[in-house]
Structure 1
């Protein structure tokens, strides 16, 4: 069985204007509102990689990247 893909959400906070679109639009609520409206990702494992936040960000401040699968040698 294939393992579920995992993603990291990377914010460029120098571009981010803290508009809130990303945490408002996130279907899994992976992105949450932090202090002063700063977007936070408390649990990146809940991200499904839909890219809605990345595409909706007016400031191009979000990059969703797939994590490399960690292979264990047994």
Structure 2
């Protein structure tokens, strides 16, 4: 299964909940980026390892993550 994960980086608060629930440990906080609110947003480090479980999207309190399965 192929997945596409989209983060609304401008709305991400970097709470790290998505990083904690990812079974493949491929969601991380991007220490090199800062959004307009001053937070380091989350991102996927290796999309090829994603199983499209959508755990990250389900736990996100601000609904900034979209998971699409192909």
TM-score calculated relative to the size of structure 1: 0.75
Task: Assess, with a 3 A threshold, how the Cα gap between structure 1 residues 8 and 25 changes in structure 2: closer, same or farther.
Answer: same
> Which of 19, 43, 46 in structure 2 is aligned with 1:43?
46
5+ residue gaps, structure 1: 68-74
Taking the aligned partners of 1:24 and 1:7, their CA distance within structure 2 comes to 19
RMSD over equivalenced CA pairs, Å: 1.4
Q: Which runs of 4+ in 1 moved over 4 A?
A: none
Shift of 1:33: 2.3
The alignment covers a number of residue pairs equal to 63
Taking the aligned partners of 2:40 and 2:22, their CA distance within structure 1 comes to 15
Taking the aligned partners of 2:4 and 2:57, their CA distance within structure 1 comes to 12
* Cα offsets for 1:23-45 (capped at 9, x unmatched): 11111112122216421212101
Which stretch has the larger CA shift, 28-37 or 45-54?
28-37
SS at match of 1:40: strand
